[in-house]
Structure 1
């Protein structure tokens, strides 16, 4: 999947099957999961080299302006952290204990110094010099520590669609989010439900399908 940054919250995902949609997983660490993953998720791998990692940084919820260089070994470290996060998030979403090996990977990354923000001379938020991939991965891992030990840990979920594996944390006040995106899986579910209700009855007068909306 590729991502395109805009002012709209979330990442613009472009599946190989087509049908781009916007997805907000609710946390920085979960944004990294959109770049691929272990096992069957390898089919969606996009972190094939340093440029791809830097594109993810630019498209992520990290504040703009971060400048860093990456090499192949650092990209491999990013993939290792991502795969560990996938294991932990998937386990949490399905009520399983996390694999201790995955926890060790996250803790090791978090132990490094993180990225350092600062206030610029013009009053804007900036990044302190010395940003590295190790600091980036520490920032992502620390975000994961906050998520998995915080008040929303029980709200890490898998999309409710049977054919979608995207994971998110529901930070909404009502806590009823079911879909990766109403633009994609939520609306598809509503369309299927509508067709099931009308399959044995008369079609609506204008033949219109239900519009996007309702719970996320």
Structure 2
């Protein structure tokens, strides 16, 4: 399983594991323990053992963290429960670096999943307290609504990704122009 990335921040990539929020039928990429373990293998500095799963309580906490990150990032006034969820997750142990015998930098954690979720929470706290918070955008595709960090020079990026969201919007605009309908704005 491969997860979409490229939002500009680890915490926003994590939030994007609940896709298609605007459709009424969102898709949860973190639907079970193996999926969360796979996400950590793709995004974390230290991977859980291949084939490993995650206990239900940690999965439920990860899903709650995902929604707390989204709430904190899009809200002008952080809700206490979202803030508390992030603070609790950020307080957990994070992966630590070490040099292996060959001199390569490696990472270790007693619990790679919880440690990576702590990194997600710390990244979210850093984001919402930095000037970059003003550059977080929601994808202009009404079906998507993914959050991303607009790192464009002009600060006018509209889609989380040119493919598929930007391409869908351009196709709608072309179809509308051909049919005489007003363009999307």
Q: TM-score, normalised by structure 1?
A: 0.70
Structure 2 unaligned regions, length at least 5? 181-185
> Whole-Å Cα distance in 1 between the matches of residues 94 and 121 of structure 2?
9
Structure 2 match to 1:101: 81
Q: Is the 8 A contact 1:36 1:42 kept in 2?
A: no
> Whole-Å Cα distance in 1 between the matches of residues 133 and 33 of structure 2?
31
Is the partner of 2:60 in helix, strand or coil? helix
Q: Is it true that 1:90 corresponds to 2:70 in the alignment?
A: no
What do the CA deviations read for 1:60-89 (whole angstroms, capped 9, x no partner)? Answer: 2x34x5235632211111111111112122
Larger helix share, 1 or 2: 2
Q: Which aligned segments of 4 or more residues in structure 1 are displaced greater than 4 angstroms?
A: none
> Whole-Å Cα distance in 2 between the matches of residues 111 and 42 of structure 1?
33
Q: Is the 8 A contact 1:66 1:127 kept in 2?
A: no
What is the total number of aligned residue pairs between the two structures?
176
Is the partner of 2:16 in helix, strand or coil? helix
**Structure 1 residue 51: Cα displacement:** 0.9
Q: Given the alignment, which residue of 91, 94, 99 partners 1:119?
A: 99
Q: Is the 8 A contact 1:107 1:141 kept in 2?
A: yes
Structure 2 match to 1:193: 173
Is the partner of 2:98 in helix, strand or coil? strand
> Whole-Å Cα distance in 1 between the matches of residues 155 and 65 of structure 2?
28
Q: TM-score, normalised by structure 2?
A: 0.81
Q: Given the alignment, which residue of 4, 8, 16 partners 1:34?
A: 16
What do the CA deviations read for 1:117-157 (whole angstroms, capped 9, x no partner)? Answer: 23323233311252443322211111111111112111111
CA 1:190–1:169: 2 relative to 1, 3 Å: same
Structure 1 unaligned regions, length at least 5? 5-10, 13-22, 201-216
> Whole-Å Cα distance in 1 between the matches of residues 8 and 82 of structure 2?
21
Q: Given the alignment, which residue of 43, 48, 54 partners 1:67?
A: 48
Q: Is it true that 1:147 corresponds to 2:127 in the alignment?
A: yes
